[in-house]
């Protein structure tokens, strides 16, 4: 038995949710470029969960179901109030909050298909509210009730700020949600599938997935990109900053990918959005710095930007706090986690690979008083 480091190239399951073939990303066979330009996030949720785009009535129904379930239990709000003023990272807060949601759901351990679908709606609907409520509570502000006439993108921005969001902001945010919704067997999705393949419940699967997304080699990279851009501070400092990092053999966040050989197809959409939004805000330095960093990293290391690189300057231009960037990724990716969880339950087998043992052999127990 020989291990493949990081399971590179290992095909671990079949899936009909999304695919990456020859650097092309599709959700249920629809090219991501097509969806990014045309689809609402709610349509994408429906597509991922049902394997087809919704008809008008089906879209209206899922939107109502999501709107009806967007509220969160007051116990979770109370819980946030206990610790949110400290240095808690919002990803840690929502990881705990999602686990808590399971405590208040009488159907948490009901494994019927109908109950699992209802829980999927609940989790998708509540995650945005959890993030914005946490963000407001830690600033000493009261949470804002989601508006039933708004979709997820508009409601996220509205419940974050309490102000009606602009059309441009909603359009950009919707596109970001569409672009992040699913990505084949990435680390957090694999985590979710491993968890529920033991026939554990959906809340456990999503809690585990949030834990995996939090790391800087995965979803946490978007916040790390913004930290890097803030440290660079100005386009003229970019060259020296990046060369210094590379000479120390440090990774440049937002670059590289395990699967894509010729670049992440989502990056160009985010680059375009970053340019458009920075023009609108009149603060173009974040986009210009990002472009410069891309130019240097591509020429020095032949590494291309991934989805996390330009999403950082997009969210910054939308006025969003930097530590909410990864929670926003979760608000979108929970749609993909849930699609994969439902797919796993449909055709389940325990996921249990082997390890290639490299530790010591043939040891004998030594009584504690004889050990050195
Ligand atoms: C949503 C997402 O999860 S997208 C990914 C988000 N993560 C990041 O942006 C973090 C930065 N990028 C990385 O760490 C990696 O490119 C990953 C984690 C995305 C992919 O990792 P892997 O396929 O395991 O590649 P691995 O980390 O082994 O790197 C291979 C080589 O490329 C180098 N490399 C890879 N990415 C980078 C980078 N961003 N900056 C500098 N060097 C890099 C590594 O140092 C390594 O070099 P070596 O062979 O000389 O040691
Ligand atoms: O697929 C991956 O390894 C990481 C990624 O880009 C994503 O999860 O969107």
pLDDT of residue 65: 98
pLDDT of residue 86: 67
Structure letter (DSSP) for residue 17: S
Distance between alpha carbon 332 and the CA centroid of its chain, in Å? 6
* Ligand 1, pocket residues at CB < 6 Å: 6, 217-219, 221, 251-258, 301, 303, 306-308
- Please list the pLDDT of the chain residue by residue as tens digits (372 residues): 889 999 999 999 999 999 999 999 999 999 999 999 999 999 999 999 999 999 999 999 999 999 999 999 999 999 999 876 668 999 999 999 999 999 999 999 999 999 999 999 999 999 999 999 999 999 999 999 999 999 999 999 999 999 999 999 999 999 999 999 999 999 999 999 999 999 999 999 999 999 999 999 999 999 999 999 999 999 999 999 999 999 999 999 999 999 999 999 999 999 999 999 999 999 999 999 999 999 999 999 999 999 999 999 999 999 999 999 999 999 999 999 999 999 999 999 999 999 999 999 999 999 999 998
Q: What is the CATH number of the domain that holds 291?
A: 1.10.230.10
Q: Are 309 and 255 a contacting pair, CB within 8 Å?
A: yes
- Are residue 268 and residue 197 in the same domain, yes or no? no
In a domain, 182, yes or no: yes
- Domain range for 275 is 221-317
Task: Specify the length of the chain in residues.
Answer: 372
In a domain, 125, yes or no: yes
In a domain, 372, yes or no: no
Among 251, 297, 311, 332, residue to substitute to test ligand 1 (most atoms within 8 Å of Cβ): 251
- Are residue 96 and residue 234 in the same domain, yes or no? no
Query: How are beta strands 30-31 and 24-27 bridged, if at all?
Result: antiparallel
Name the residue at shortest CA distance from atom 9 of ligand 2: 183
- Are residue 201 and residue 263 in the same domain, yes or no? no
- Are residue 39 and residue 143 in the same domain, yes or no? yes
In a domain, 4, yes or no: no
- Are residue 265 and residue 332 in the same domain, yes or no? no
In a domain, 369, yes or no: no
- Are residue 167 and residue 295 in the same domain, yes or no? no
- Are residue 158 and residue 287 in the same domain, yes or no? no
- Are residue 294 and residue 271 in the same domain, yes or no? yes
d(CA 258, ligand 1 centre) in Å? 7
- Are residue 151 and residue 54 in the same domain, yes or no? yes
257 assigned to active site: yes
Q: What is the CATH number of the domain that holds 206?
A: 1.10.580.10
**Segments of 23-128 assigned E as strands:** 24-27, 30-31
* Ligand 2, pocket residues at CB < 6 Å: 183, 186, 258-259, 306-307
- Are residue 54 and residue 159 in the same domain, yes or no? yes
23 assigned to active site: no
In a domain, 10, yes or no: no
d(CA 149, ligand 2 centre) in Å? 32
Please state the domain count of the chain.
2
Q: Are 146 and 162 a contacting pair, CB within 8 Å?
A: no
- Are residue 99 and residue 182 in the same domain, yes or no? yes
In a domain, 5, yes or no: no
d(CA 109, ligand 2 centre) in Å? 29
- Are residue 236 and residue 333 in the same domain, yes or no? no
Q: Are 143 and 136 a contacting pair, CB within 8 Å?
A: yes
d(CA 59, ligand 1 centre) in Å? 39
Name the residue at shortest CA distance from atom 24 of ligand 1: 258
d(CA 160, CA 285) in angstroms, rounded, equals 25
pTM for the model? 0.98
In a domain, 23, yes or no: no
């Amino acid at each position: 038995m020989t291990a493949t480091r990081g399971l590179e190239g290992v095909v671990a399951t079949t899936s009909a949710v999304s695919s990456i073939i020859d650097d092309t990303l599709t959700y249920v066979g629809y090219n991501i470029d097509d969806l990014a330009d045309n689809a609402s996030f709610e349509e994408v949720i429906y597509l991922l969960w049902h394997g087809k785009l919704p008809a008008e009535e089906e879209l209206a129904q899922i939107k109502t179901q999501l709107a009806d379930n967007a509220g969160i239990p007051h116990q979770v709000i109370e819980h946030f109030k206990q610790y949110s003023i400290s240095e808690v990272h919002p990803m840690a807060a929502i990881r705990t909050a999602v686990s808590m949601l399971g405590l208040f759901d009488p159907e948490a351990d009901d494994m019927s298909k109908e109950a699992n679908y209802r829980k999927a709606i609940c989790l998708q609907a509540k995650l945005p509210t959890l993030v914005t409520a946490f963000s407001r509570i830690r600033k000493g502000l009261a949470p804002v009730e989601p508006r039933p006439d708004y979709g997820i993108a508009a409601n996220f921005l509205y419940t974050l700020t309490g102000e009606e969001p602009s059309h441009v902001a909603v359009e950009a945010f919707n596109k970001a949600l569409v672009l992040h919704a699913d990505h084949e067997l990435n680390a957090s999705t694999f985590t979710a599938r491993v968890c529920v393949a033991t026939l554990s419940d959906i809340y456990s699967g999503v809690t585990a997935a949030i834990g995996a997304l939090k790391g800087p080699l995965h979803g946490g990279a978007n916040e790390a990109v913004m930290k890097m851009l803030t440290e660079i501070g100005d386009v003229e400092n970019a060259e020296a900053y990046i060369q210094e990092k590379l000479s120390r053999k440090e990774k440049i966040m937002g670059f590289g990918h395990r699967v894509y050989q010729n670049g992440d197809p989502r990056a160009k959409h985010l680059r375009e959005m970053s340019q458009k939004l920075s023009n609108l805000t009149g603060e173009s330095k974040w986009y210009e710095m990002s472009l410069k960093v891309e130019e240097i990293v591509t020429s020095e290391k032949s590494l291309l930007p991934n989805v996390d690189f330009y999403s950082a300057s997009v969210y910054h231009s939308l006025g969003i706090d930097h530590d909410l960037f990864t929670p926003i990724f979760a608000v979108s990716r929970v749609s993909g986690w849930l699609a994969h969880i439902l797919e796993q339950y449909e055709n389940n087998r325990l996921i249990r690979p082997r390890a290639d043992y490299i530790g010591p052999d043939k040891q004998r127990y030594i009584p504690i008083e004889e050990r050195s």
